[in-house]
Amino acid sequence: MSTNNKPVVNLISKPDNMLKTVYTACRTCYSADYPINIYESTDDEEKMLKLINRVISSGHYSTIEHIQVSFAISNVSRACTHQLVRHRHMSFSQKSQRYVKEKGQFDYIIPPTIEKDAVLKEKFINFMNKISDQYQEFVDAGIPAEDARFVLPNAAASSLVASLNLRELIHLANLRLCTRAQYEIRTMVKMMCDELIKEEPWLKPYLVPKCERFGFCDEDKSCGRMKTRDQLGF
Ligand SMILES: Cc1cc2nc3c(=O)[nH]c(=O)nc-3n(C[C@H](O)[C@H](O)[C@H](O)COP(=O)(O)OP(=O)(O)OC[C@H]3O[C@@H](n4cnc5c(N)ncnc54)[C@H](O)[C@@H]3O)c2cc1C
């Protein structure tokens, strides 16, 4: 059972020299000098950021593909991880429902909309208990976990290690921090971004919803934070 609905997200791997690596990639495109000389030539953060901001704003995204980061994520629903794994430039290693047999009540996530209503919450929990009993009955009858899991719900909690490059992380943030994204993946991606921003504050302006990056909302139903394309007349 799990009643703590908040995802657990930790940054477990990132390069130490992120800014310098991105700067070297950017500068190499416009310099006759060897990349190694560029890499060793400066520690001037302001100078590096000026070039990086210009290059990223102009859509020259290969320069940010050199940075790979990894996150350890748990206490998220299968509904959430199913959305995350749609991102094709990410790498995942997820707790298997084939190899890891649930023992006793499986962990699950309760959506806040249900959590806040005592009556509905009780019904939700009772239903999870019933599913758990059915799952155990199948397992006890010798059904392999890979088949018994067919009765497990979207609410079942999962754990994974997720890795991605900086270009994909910015894309992920732009899409999934949008208020149109489902609350749980939005919460999880925000935590991923915050973990990295703690270590690399220069990334803050990029790890934002797409409307903040591009200055308008491209959704059909806008939350009102930014004007839509229609409102702007294009
Ligand atoms: C609010 C919201 C609602 C959604 N609702 C639904 C839904 O109802 N049903 C549903 O099925 N999905 C839904 N999705 C998922 C969505 O369709 C995408 O699959 C998911 O967001 C991954 O985005 P992506 O393809 O841009 O990114 P990634 O897979 O992370 O790829 C990044 C970028 O790489 C490029 N790229 C990757 N693969 C290809 C390719 N094969 N060909 C060309 N370019 C490629 C594209 O430029 C892409 O934007 C939703 C997503 C959001 C954010």
Residue 139: per-residue pLDDT:
96
Between the two ends of the chain, the Cα-to-Cα distance in Å is 50
What is the pTM (predicted TM-score) of this model? 0.95
Residue 12: per-residue pLDDT:
98
| Residue of 27, 78, 176, 186 marked active site | 176
Residue 199 CA to residue 197 CA, distance in Å, equals: 5
Residue 232: per-residue pLDDT:
87
Q: How far is the CA of 168 from the centre of ligand 1 (A)?
A: 11
Q: How far is the CA of 195 from the centre of ligand 1 (A)?
A: 24
Instruction: Give, for 93, the enclosing helix (H) or strand (E).
Output: strand 90-94
Q: Where are the domains of the chain?
A: 8-72+161-232, 98-155
Residue 124 CA to residue 130 CA, distance in Å, equals: 10
Contacts with 181 (C-beta within 8 Å, 6 or more apart), sequence order? 175, 189
Burial class of residue 156, CB neighbours in 10 A (0-12, 13-18, 19+): buried
Share of the chain above pLDDT 90, in %: 91
Structure confidence by residue, pLDDT tens digits, 99-146: 999 998 999 999 999 999 999 999 999 999 999 999 999 999 999 999
Contacts with 7 (C-beta within 8 Å, 6 or more apart), sequence order? 73, 74, 75, 76, 80, 184, 187, 188, 191
Over the chain, what is the mean pLDDT?
95
Q: Looking at this protein, which amino acid is placed at residue 26?
A: C
Among all chains, which residue has been given the structure tokens 């999870």?
128
Active site (annotated) includes residue 167: no
Q: What is the phi/psi pair of residue 94, to 5°?
A: -115, 145
> Where residue 5 falls among pLDDT bands split at 50, 70, 90?
confident
User: 8-72+161-232 adopts what CATH topology?
Assistant: Gyrase A; domain 2 (3.30.1360)
Mean pLDDT of 89-95: 98
86 lines ligand 1 (CB under 6 A): yes
If you take atom 27 of ligand 1, which residue's CA is the nearest one?
Answer: 87
